[in-house]
Amino acid sequence: MSYENKTVINKTVKTGITFGSALAMVISYTTWKSVGWAIVHGLLSWIYVIYFVLKY
């Protein structure tokens, strides 16, 4: 794998993690109106997003 391909993969992974955290925090805050829960769910990232989609 070339250096250029590794850079694209690394950027994609970092962007995905960041987007997942932001999405989880927005969903959490809109649902529960709590900054504390938003932080916790932001740390869980995609796990909370998938849970929310399946549950609600």
What is 4-47 written as a DSSP string? HHHHHHHHHHHHHHHHHHHHHHHHHHHHH--HHHHHHHHHHTHH
13 vs 54 pLDDT, higher one: 54
Q: Whole-prediction pTM value?
A: 0.72
Summarize pLDDT for 19-50 with one digit per residue, the tens.
Answer: 899 999 999 999 999 999 999 999 999 999 99
